[in-house]
Amino acid sequence: MSALTAQQLAEKALAASTADGCVVYVVESTEANLRWASNSLTTNGAMRSRQVVVVSFVDGGAGMAAGTVARTGTPDVAELVAASEQAARDAGPAEDAVPLISEEPPGAGEWDADPAETSIEVFAEFAPALGEAFGAARDRGDLLFGYAEHAMTTTYLGTSTGLRLRHDQPSGRVELNGKSTDFSRSVWAGVGTRDFRDVSVPGLAGEVERKLGWSKRRVDLPAGRYETLLPPSAVSDLMLYAYWTMEARDADEGRNVYARTGGGNRIGDRLAALPLTLRSDPAAPGLEAAPFQVVGASSGSASVFDNGMATPAVDWISGGVLTNLVRTRAWALKTTAPAVAAVDNLVLEAPDATATQDEMVAATDRGLLLTTLWYIREVDPQTLLLTGLTRDGVFLVEGGEVTGAVNNFRWNESPVDLLGRITEAGRTERTLPREWNDWFTRAAMPPVRVPDFNMSSVSPAS
Amino acid sequence: MAAPRDVDESFLALPLSALTEAALTRAVDLGCEHADLRVERIRTQAISLRDARLEALTDGEDLGLAVRVVHEGTWGFAAGVVLTAAEAVRLAEQAVAVAKVSAAVASDRVELAPEPPHEGAWVSAYDVDPFGVPDAEKTALLTEWSERLMAADGVEHVQSGCTHVKEQKYYADTAGTRTRQQRVRIHPEFTALTVDRTTGAFESMRTLAPPVGRGWEYLTDGRWDWGAELAQIPELLREKTKAPSVEPGRYDLVVDPSNLWLVVHESVGHATELDRALGYEAAYAGTSFATVDQLGSLRYGSELMHVTGDRVVEQGLSTIGWDDEGIEAQRWDIVRDGVLVGYQVDRNTARLGGMARSNGCAFADSPRHVPVQRMANVSLQPAPDGPDLDGLIGGVERGVYVVGDKSWSIDMQRYNFQFTGQRFYRIEGGRLAGQLRDVAYQATTTDFWGSMRAVGGPSTYRLGGAFNCGKAQPGQVAPVSHGCPAAVFEGVSILNTVQEGGR
């Protein structure tokens, strides 16, 4: 990369700082990807990057102000630090100012170690297996589309209060989309992974082949409310939106779905009829995420003053009851409530649930089995009403069996409202969100049954 | 308008020639049929305020280089951040290595449509480089305007901010093209919010000012009347909170360009990207109902519909001199008299679509990403002798006037869409009759454009747009503008969002 290591850059910037406080983080990342369409590779890449971020804190008398400057590569450290300090002087007192973190969080990492890396070689076994899947699909008259990506990100965070924290974050995903040659039938399978050693191309291809087989019988259904089985991927896309909206300040100010009528927030309210738990845990097996916060810009849900703050396991919903919202230390002080940081993973569980998706299908007299959701957007923040489409497989279940594929639908639903209407949840398993996996790959969700999912209109797309 | 400027000397001072020589020579030595080098520096500053107090001011710069090759008919791509000849050689070698790994699963040979070599520099039209304005001055202006909103009756919260970007690109390829470019874009936004604590209801309203390919002068030169817009918002917001909830049904819509630009983007812009029509985006953003076999015959909309692709319009967010494959900027027809007549393409898809030349729609959003086919400024043309806004509204007996964008969603083949807006007004007897609440409209693309029975004249035409249109894997964002007039659509389905939510 350069003569200076990430740790040296961080130390040099901290040493150059003349501010009242300083946070420096360096993010080293490597990434490799393959993309394919119609049984052939289309694009690919191997990328290496380094980002250096300096956050300076300057007390102008009226309060502490913060300024953030970020550069890629190996920037001139003195210039970077000076720019950051100037930005802080220009900013004026910050509303979220609190003393910087000085207590080392658990899982601080090995500061002196080199950054972890990935390369195109991560696909050494995957690519030939994918080639075999292309051949098999070609032989069947099917087409495969998709994408595989592996990234390794190492973050070094140093502060003027003495913290030296390091975290390696591997992230990987595979999406396999199967289509008939006329594109009239389309199905999907996807997984998240840390290292590709647990990715089975034959397993994914088999799932795609099975669903393409289900799709050979086509059934047209009108818009309406249907008993619907949502698979883990679809559940994760809905729950992620509910999670991203869990800002305590917005709720306390009456401006999100977690606001209580009359004032305050809805912590303590029962949101789910079933005793569901929605939680995040940086140590969740297979979903490991950073155990401390790294923040470049303050918002209602994160603060640059909280850099290095521990992000322990947290229940957002426990036993069906809203238990926590995301709260910065500054807002926590103002509202005499605990500071709670967001974590980069999400798990939904029902206690003692053992049913697999197939078993839930077998227990369904008549209903729809979805595959994934797409183009999810907020319609009404007050209720968190979302809209979106079904995609790559809506299957009709009759008498406990899949009997054909149904047209796609546009739906309008609120994930918070849905929580209250889920009548059954199955066994939680690792899943890949379809809509949001650009940003979020670490999720584990159960399949769920909703008796009256609102399919607002028919989508002719296949 | 200030005199045309040059690309910043600090960017030109980078070792562009040495990097070019090193990367392209090594790629040719390794047997590549084609190789290109991009050096990019993208400066982004985001200022956000909450309730008229600065929440965050971040200043980022992304500088790096990328080498893309075609080796034995297969793409290879590598990117890094160290601007040395040795690193350029390493990236060329890595790109070839990636191509070799990929060859095992590549059955289609990459062939690029030809383009003559170009040499030159291009800078977008702006007066004041926002990065040359002191942060304190920018923050002070945003704070003052936010305070104005906060001071109004009923406005409990204000979310505001401004994002501006300066993008510098150098491109070189083995055919001899050498281009240097610089462009600036800016997006200020102000949102007022009112909260009724007794009912738990809250409502918001945002400025309609679109993101544009301009500099800081966008906030100061009066061409957009910020003062008038900010002054109107509190009263409009109050009216919205008291407005009746819409009765669902079919209505004639008069759609303002502040809303229609997004319909153009989703239902025409994305649907006429040839890579989508060919299946290259099938697993992610999706395909298109506008398939290649229908080029020249697909009835896209009414005969009033004329849509162009445009990479040359001044102050467009997708306006350039040359694209990220060295193709000269162009303007062309996509829909003419309501019929599909063109696509947006890059050099590879041009060849696949049987076209002699790319129309210049390759774009990479960072030095770390491979160029993909991205959107031109796709615009609905006004009727040369068309009516003004009052004339359009006056022609509707019972309908709804839609202003500003808010929520949007469309399916993966660009048929079924649902949009909301900032404001909806009842139209009764050709006149506006107050705002409506809880409105969303749904339609299918060809039904919607087929129902367009009147197109506004040039006085109603406005350039809207977005900073962050997403596409491709790994995900990339692209800025793009869409011009359109106001237009009238017959019998469009309107939903009540409260009822949709089951309340």
Per-residue pLDDT tens digits of chain A, which is 462 residues long: 457 999 999 999 999 999 999 999 999 999 999 999 999 998 888 899 999 999 999 998 999 999 999 999 889 999 999 999 999 999 999 999 999 999 999 999 999 999 999 999 999 999 999 999 999 999 999 999 999 999 999 999 999 999 999 999 999 999 999 999 999 999 999 999 999 999 999 999 999 999 999 999 999 999 999 999 999 999 999 999 999 999 999 999 999 999 999 999 999 999 999 999 999 999 999 999 999 999 999 999 999 999 999 999 999 999 999 999 999 999 999 999 999 999 999 999 999 999 999 999 999 999 999 999 999 999 999 999 999 999 999 999 999 999 999 999 999 999 999 999 999 999 999 999 999 999 999 999 999 999 999 999 999 999
Q: Which residues of B touch A438 (CB under 8 A)?
A: 470, 473-475
Q: What is the gyration radius of the CA atoms in chain B, in angstroms?
A: 24
Please state the separation of Cα A24 from the chain's center in Å.
25
Are the Cβ atoms of A40 and B108 closer than 8 angstroms? yes
Distance CA A356, CA A362 (A): 10
Please state the separation of Cα A20 from the chain's center in Å.
35
Q: Which residues of B touch A124 (CB under 8 A)?
A: 101
In 3-state terms, what secondary structure has residue B1? coil
Q: Is A376 on the interface with B (CB under 8 A)?
A: yes
Q: Sorting pLDDT into bands at 50, 70 and 90, what band is B251?
A: very high
Give the strand pairing for B431-436 and B439-444.
Answer: unpaired
Q: What is the DSSP letter of A111?
A: T
Are the Cβ atoms of A47 and B416 closer than 8 angstroms? no
| DSSP string covering B247-315 | PPEEEEEEE-HHHHHHHHIIIIIGGGBHHHHHTTTTTTT---SS-GGGTTT-B-S-TT--EEEES-STT
Q: Give start and end residues of each alpha helix (H) in A57-119.
A: 77-91
Asked whether A391 and A370 are in contact (CB, 8 A), the reply is no
Average pLDDT over residues B457-480: 97
User: Residue B370 is nearest to which of A39, A45, A382, comparing CB atoms?
Assistant: A45
Q: Is A287 on the interface with B (CB under 8 A)?
A: no
Q: Which residues of B touch A261 (CB under 8 A)?
A: 197-200
Asked whether B30 and B76 are in contact (CB, 8 A), the reply is no
Distance CA B225, CA A45 (A): 45
Per-residue H/E/C for A135-184: HHHHHHCEEEEEEEEEEEEEEEEEECCCCEEEEEEEEEEEEEEEEECCCC
Distance CA A203, CA A233 (A): 17
Q: Which residues of A touch B62 (CB under 8 A)?
A: 72
Q: Which residues of A touch B204 (CB under 8 A)?
A: 381
Distance CA A91, CA A111 (A): 32
Distance from CA of B173 to the nearest CA of A (A): 18
Are the Cβ atoms of A389 and B75 closer than 8 angstroms? no
For residue B183, is pLDDT > 90? yes
Are the Cβ atoms of A255 and B193 closer than 8 angstroms? yes
Instruction: Report the b/e string of B393-402 with b at 16+ CB within 10 A.
Output: bebbeebbbb
B338: phi then psi, degrees, rounded to nearest 5 = 85, 5
Res B108: pLDDT: 84
User: Residue A44 is nearest to which of B59, B77, B278, comparing CB atoms?
Assistant: B77
Question: Is the peptide bond prior to A433 cis by the omega test (within 30 degrees of 0)?
Answer: no
Asked whether B446 and B452 are in contact (CB, 8 A), the reply is no
Q: What is the pTM of this model?
A: 0.97
User: Taken in order B402, B408, B412, B416, is the CA torsion positive or negative?
Assistant: negative
Q: Which residues of A touch B135 (CB under 8 A)?
A: 86-87, 90-91
Q: Which residues of A touch B76 (CB under 8 A)?
A: 44
- Count other C-beta atoms under 10 Å from residue B330's C-beta: 16
Asked whether A10 and B453 are in contact (CB, 8 A), the reply is no
User: Residue B64 is nearest to which of A72, A259, A408, comparing CB atoms?
Assistant: A72
Q: Which residues of B touch A303 (CB under 8 A)?
A: none
Give the strand pairing for B249-255 and B398-410.
Answer: parallel
Q: Is A334 on the interface with B (CB under 8 A)?
A: no
Res B105: pLDDT: 84
Q: Which residues of A touch B501 (CB under 8 A)?
A: 379-380, 383, 385, 412-414, 417
Q: Sorting pLDDT into bands at 50, 70 and 90, what band is B104?
A: confident
User: Residue A130 is nearest to which of B59, B105, B204, comparing CB atoms?
Assistant: B105
Q: Which residues of B touch A186 (CB under 8 A)?
A: 282
Are the Cβ atoms of B157 and A72 closer than 8 angstroms? no
B contact test, residue of A47, A49, A144 with most B CBs within 10 A: A47
In 3-state terms, what secondary structure has residue B18? helix
Q: Is A181 on the interface with B (CB under 8 A)?
A: no
Asked whether A12 and A52 are in contact (CB, 8 A), the reply is no
What are the pLDDT digits (tens) for A176-219?
999 999 999 999 999 999 999 999 999 999 999 999 999 999 99
Q: Is A423 on the interface with B (CB under 8 A)?
A: no
Q: Which of residues 182-241 of A touch B (CB under 8 A)?
A: 183, 186, 188
User: Residue B282 is nearest to which of A34, A70, A177, comparing CB atoms?
Assistant: A177
Residues 6+ apart with CB under 8 A from B432: B393, B401, B425, B426
Q: Which of B332, B315, B306 is nearest to B386 (CA)?
A: B306
Q: Which of residues 345-374 of A touch B (CB under 8 A)?
A: 374
Res B2: pLDDT: 47
Q: How many CA atoms lie within 13 A of B235 on its CB side?
A: 6
| DSSP string covering A237-283 | HHHHHHHHT-BHHHHHTT-STTBPTTSSB-TT-B--SS--EEEE-TT
User: Residue B58 is nearest to which of A70, A179, A376, comparing CB atoms?
Assistant: A70
Residue in chain B lying closest to A132 (CA): B105
Q: Is A92 on the interface with B (CB under 8 A)?
A: yes
Are the Cβ atoms of B407 and A378 closer than 8 angstroms? yes
Distance from CA of A354 to the nearest CA of B (A): 31
Q: Which residues of B touch A296 (CB under 8 A)?
A: 58
| DSSP string covering B344-410 | B--HHHHHHTT-SS--S-EE-SSTTS--EE---EEEEPPPTT---HHHHHHT-SEEEEEEEEEEEEE
Please state the separation of Cα B496 from the chain's center in Å.
29
Task: State what percent of residues in chain B have pLDDT above 70.
Answer: 99
For residue B67, is pLDDT > 90? yes
Are the Cβ atoms of A44 and B98 closer than 8 angstroms? yes
Q: Which residues of B touch A382 (CB under 8 A)?
A: 200-202
User: Residue B76 is nearest to which of A44, A72, A143, comparing CB atoms?
Assistant: A44
- Count other C-beta atoms under 10 Å from residue A139's C-beta: 8
Q: Which residues of A touch B64 (CB under 8 A)?
A: 49, 72-73
Distance from CA of B376 to the nearest CA of A (A): 21
In 3-state terms, what secondary structure has residue A120? helix
Q: Sorting pLDDT into bands at 50, 70 and 90, what band is B106?
A: confident
| Token pair of A27 as six digits | 């993010």
Distance from CA of A145 to the nearest CA of B (A): 6
Average pLDDT over residues B398-416: 98
Instruction: Report the b/e string of A307-324 with b at 16+ CB within 10 A.
Output: bbbbbbebbbbeebbbbb
Are the Cβ atoms of B500 and A385 closer than 8 angstroms? yes
**Residue bearing tokens 């993101």:** B211
A6: phi then psi, degrees, rounded to nearest 5 = -60, -40
Res B107: pLDDT: 82
Res B502: pLDDT: 84
End-to-end CA distance of chain B: 53
Res B3: pLDDT: 52
Q: How many CA atoms lie within 13 A of A268 on its CB side?
A: 3
Residue-averaged pLDDT of chain B: 96
Please state the separation of Cα A134 from the chain's center in Å.
29
What are the pLDDT digits (tens) for B168-182?
999 999 999 999 999
Are the Cβ atoms of B280 and A37 closer than 8 angstroms? yes
Distance CA B97, CA B102 (A): 9
Average pLDDT over residues B112-139: 97
Q: What is the gyration radius of the CA atoms in chain A, in angstroms?
A: 24
A69: phi then psi, degrees, rounded to nearest 5 = -135, 135
Average pLDDT over residues B239-258: 98
Distance CA B194, CA B184 (A): 34
Q: Which residues of A touch B136 (CB under 8 A)?
A: 90
In 3-state terms, what secondary structure has residue A361? helix
Q: Chains A and B: how many Cβ contacts under 8 Å?
A: 287
**Residue bearing tokens 């209407």:** A421
Residue in chain B lying closest to A67 (CA): B57
Which value does ipTM take for this structure?
A: 0.95
| Token pair of A303 as six digits | 């603060």
User: Residue A40 is nearest to which of B106, B200, B440, comparing CB atoms?
Assistant: B106
Q: Is A462 on the interface with B (CB under 8 A)?
A: yes
Q: Which of B258, B366, B317 is nearest to B126 (CA)?
A: B317
